[in-house]
């Protein structure tokens, strides 16, 4: 196996000792899905690094391969399962290799995944991650296959402070799970109910990251507006985080429109580190569909929220998620969504075709919109939204934007890529000395997804 002797004295120390005795174990992580999974993959990496393990980029050189999966849509689940099945061949060549599936497909399928993919060794649920090193040790020493997915309804186990890699931008989970049960959504079933992390832990984690070079933090939760720990609510948390010296930018995702309060908008307006960037998933423009989705707001509520934000923060950048083809979505319902697109004029949108998810309320309803029609509606929606995104970006030409430079652009080593406070990508001529700096850029060109500009001064 991985050359460890089996001697569990204390599950947590076990792998660290073996790795020290036997040289570093090599692991790789393949990550799908949302920022929650990105953050969990970082946690996994930090837990394994603490035990002396070495991260490698490809599964061919890894002793342990972890696949962190997403199941929000059928296509995401299929992508993850397809990737897992590709590992079968590698396992035949190297039977000692350990394959571990984690994330939302793991939570959804549990033991069933071991039956369907017998070459998988460990299936670990979304709330069992802290046990990963111990369970890997057990799998390795006993040769047993394990599905550990039973902690979903238990309180979250907060792992001890972990050293994460130095990064300019950090993901920090502020809450786990979701209580909303939107009728189409599998997330509450695979991530469990809402649990907010204590403020002290969040602040300590961000301070660590900042002392390690982080300038921007993205606070993560399925509905950050319902963050609540003791007497700390989300606007209060924002105020506390913005006190952290050296932290230039604070973002957060996702903000459920039903819970986005005036207090939140006021905090964003007054706290200079909090970016004027609102991701408010609308999902649909028809009140009938919104009700069936169990979203708890109407299109009028949504429009009122957007008006409030724009009147208090004229520079606010607002984005959304939209879905087409929800059960019983008529042409008139779809037109309501198209009309909402015209009324709000979002800066950008993630747009999806509805697919039924197991266990959800909507799964019991007929998936009544034919695939061809879903595709047609999605194409129409994307086309119109892209035009609006482009027009909104072009309206920024001549304006000066504050840009945090992140690295080289994809196309050239002479051009750098950064983001505005509104999270828009900007390409600017420059070199690596700009990386990590906040600079002023005059916008000179724009497409639907990218701004182009000239550096006018260094700012920090």
Q: CB-wise, 36 or 305, nearer to ligand F3S?
A: 36
Cα(390)–Cα(349) distance, integer angstroms? 12
- Tell me the CB-side half-sphere exposure of residue 17, using CA atoms within 13 A: 13
End-to-end, the C-alpha distance of the chain in Å comes to 52
Cα(452)–Cα(442) distance, integer angstroms? 8
Cα(356)–Cα(359) distance, integer angstroms? 9
- Single out the residue of 27, 32, 184, 234 in contact with ligand SAM (rule: CB under 6 A): 184
187 forms part of the interface with ligand SF4 (CB under 6 A): yes
104 binds, among ligand SF4, ligand F3S, ligand SAM, none (CB under 5 to 8 A by kind): ligand F3S
321 forms part of the interface with ligand SAM (CB under 6 A): yes
The CB-of-406 to ligand SAM minimum distance in angstroms stands at: 24
Q: CB-wise, 132 or 220, nearer to ligand SF4?
A: 220
Site for ligand SAM in 14-73 (CB under 6 A): 34, 72-73
Q: Under DSSP, is residue 95 helix (H, G, I), strand (E, B) or coil?
A: coil
The CB-of-108 to ligand F3S minimum distance in angstroms stands at: 8
| H-assigned helices in 67-216 | 74-93, 104-109, 111-116, 132-142, 187-191, 199-211
Site for ligand SF4 in 166-185 (CB under 6 A): 178, 180-182, 185
Q: Are 167 and 214 in contact, with CB atoms under 8 Å apart?
A: yes
355 binds, among ligand SF4, ligand SAM, ligand F3S, none (CB under 5 to 8 A by kind): ligand SAM
Q: Are 266 and 412 in contact, with CB atoms under 8 Å apart?
A: no
Cα(243)–Cα(217) distance, integer angstroms? 13
Q: Treating both helix axes as pointing N-terminal to C-terminal, what angle do 132-142 and 11-22 enclose, rounded to 10 degrees?
A: 60
187 forms part of the interface with ligand SAM (CB under 6 A): yes
Q: Are 346 and 388 in contact, with CB atoms under 8 Å apart?
A: yes
- Single out the residue of 4, 227, 234, 354 in contact with ligand SAM (rule: CB under 6 A): 354
Site for ligand SF4 in 105-124 (CB under 6 A): none
Number of helices (H) and strands (E), helices first, in the chain?
14, 21
Cα(433)–Cα(452) distance, integer angstroms? 19
Q: Under DSSP, is residue 255 helix (H, G, I), strand (E, B) or coil?
A: coil
User: Which range of residues in 182-190, 208-216, 265-273, 388-396 is near ligand SAM by CB under 6 A?
Assistant: 182-190
Beta bridge partners of 103: 69
Q: Are 249 and 404 in contact, with CB atoms under 8 Å apart?
A: yes
185 forms part of the interface with ligand SAM (CB under 6 A): yes
User: Which range of residues in 184-192, 400-408, 413-421, 446-454 is near ligand SAM by CB under 6 A?
Assistant: 184-192
Q: CB-wise, 140 or 336, nearer to ligand SAM?
A: 336
Cα(394)–Cα(335) distance, integer angstroms? 26
How many residues touch ligand SF4 under the rule CB under 6 A: the total is: 10
The CB-of-294 to ligand SAM minimum distance in angstroms stands at: 11
109 binds, among ligand SF4, ligand SAM, ligand F3S, none (CB under 5 to 8 A by kind): none
Cα(309)–Cα(317) distance, integer angstroms? 10
137 binds, among ligand F3S, ligand SAM, ligand SF4, none (CB under 5 to 8 A by kind): none
Sign of CA dihedral 368, 374, 376, 382: positive
256 forms part of the interface with ligand SAM (CB under 6 A): yes
Buried b (16+ CB within 10 A) or exposed e, 187-203: bbbbbbebbbbebeebb
Q: CB-wise, 197 or 357, nearer to ligand SAM?
A: 357
The CB-of-321 to ligand SAM minimum distance in angstroms stands at: 3
Q: CB-wise, 70 or 316, nearer to ligand F3S?
A: 70
The CB-of-185 to ligand SAM minimum distance in angstroms stands at: 4
256 forms part of the interface with ligand SF4 (CB under 6 A): yes
Q: Are 301 and 255 in contact, with CB atoms under 8 Å apart?
A: no
The CB-of-230 to ligand F3S minimum distance in angstroms stands at: 25
324 forms part of the interface with ligand SAM (CB under 6 A): no
Binding site for ligand SF4 (CB under 6 A): 178, 180-182, 185, 187-188, 222-223, 256
Binding site for ligand SAM (CB under 6 A): 34, 72-73, 184-185, 187, 222-223, 254, 256, 281, 283, 321, 323, 352, 354-355, 357
């Amino acid at each position: 196996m991985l050359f460890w002797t089996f001697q569990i004295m204390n599950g947590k120390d076990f792998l660290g000792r073996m790795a020290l005795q036997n040289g570093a174990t090599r692991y790789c992580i393949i990550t799908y899905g949302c920022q929650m999974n990105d953050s969990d993959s970082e946690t996994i990496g930090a837990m394994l690094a603490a035990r002396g393990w070495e991260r490698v980029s490809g599964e061919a050189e890894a002793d342990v391969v972890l696949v962190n999966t997403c199941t929000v849509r059928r296509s995401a689940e299929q992508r993850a399962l397809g990737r897992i099945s590709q590992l079968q061949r590698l396992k035949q060549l190297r039977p000692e290799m350990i394959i571990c599936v984690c994330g939302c497909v793991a939570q959804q399928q549990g033991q069933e995944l071991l039956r369907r993919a017998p070459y998988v060794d460990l299936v670990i649920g979304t709330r069992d991650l802290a046990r990963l090193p111990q369970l890997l040790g057990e799998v390795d020493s006993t040769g047993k296959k394990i599905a550990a997915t039973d902690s979903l309804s238990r309180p979250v186990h907060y792992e001890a402070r972990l050293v994460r890699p130095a990064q300019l931008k950090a993901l920090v989970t502020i809450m786990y799970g979701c209580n909303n049960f939107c009728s189409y959504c599998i997330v509450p079933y695979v991530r469990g109910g809402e649990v907010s992390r204590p403020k002290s832990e969040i602040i300590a984690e961000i301070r660590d990251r900042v002392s390690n070079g982080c300038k921007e933090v993205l606070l993560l939760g399925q509905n950050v507006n319902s963050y609540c720990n003791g007497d700390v609510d989300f606007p209060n948390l924002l105020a506390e985080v913005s006190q952290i010296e050296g932290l230039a930018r604070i973002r957060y995702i996702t903000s459920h429109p039903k819970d986005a309060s005036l207090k939140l908008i006021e905090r964003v307006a007054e706290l200079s580190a909090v970016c004027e960037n609102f991701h408010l998933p609308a999902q649909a423009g028809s009140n009938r569909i919104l009700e069936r989705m169990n979203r708890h707001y109407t299109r009028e509520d949504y429009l009122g929220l957007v008006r409030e934000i724009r009147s208090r923060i004229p520079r606010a950048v607002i984005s959304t998620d939209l879905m087409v083809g929800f059960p019983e979505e008529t042409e008139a319902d779809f037109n309501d969504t198209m009309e909402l697109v015209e009324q709000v004029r979002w800066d950008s949108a993630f747009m999806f075709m509805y697919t039924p998810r197991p266990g959800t309320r909507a799964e019991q309803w007929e998936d009544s919109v034919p695939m061809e029609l879903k595709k047609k509606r999605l194409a129409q929606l994307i086309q119109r939204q892209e035009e609006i995104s482009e027009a909104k970006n072009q309206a920024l030409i001549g304006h000066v934007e504050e840009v945090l430079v992140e690295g080289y652009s994809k196309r050239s080593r002479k051009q750098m890529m950064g983001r505005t406070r509104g999270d828009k990508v900007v390409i600017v001529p420059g070199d690596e000395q700009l990386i990590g700096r906040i600079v002023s850029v005059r916008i000179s060109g724009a497409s639907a997804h990218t701004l182009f500009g000239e550096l006018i001064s260094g700012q920090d």
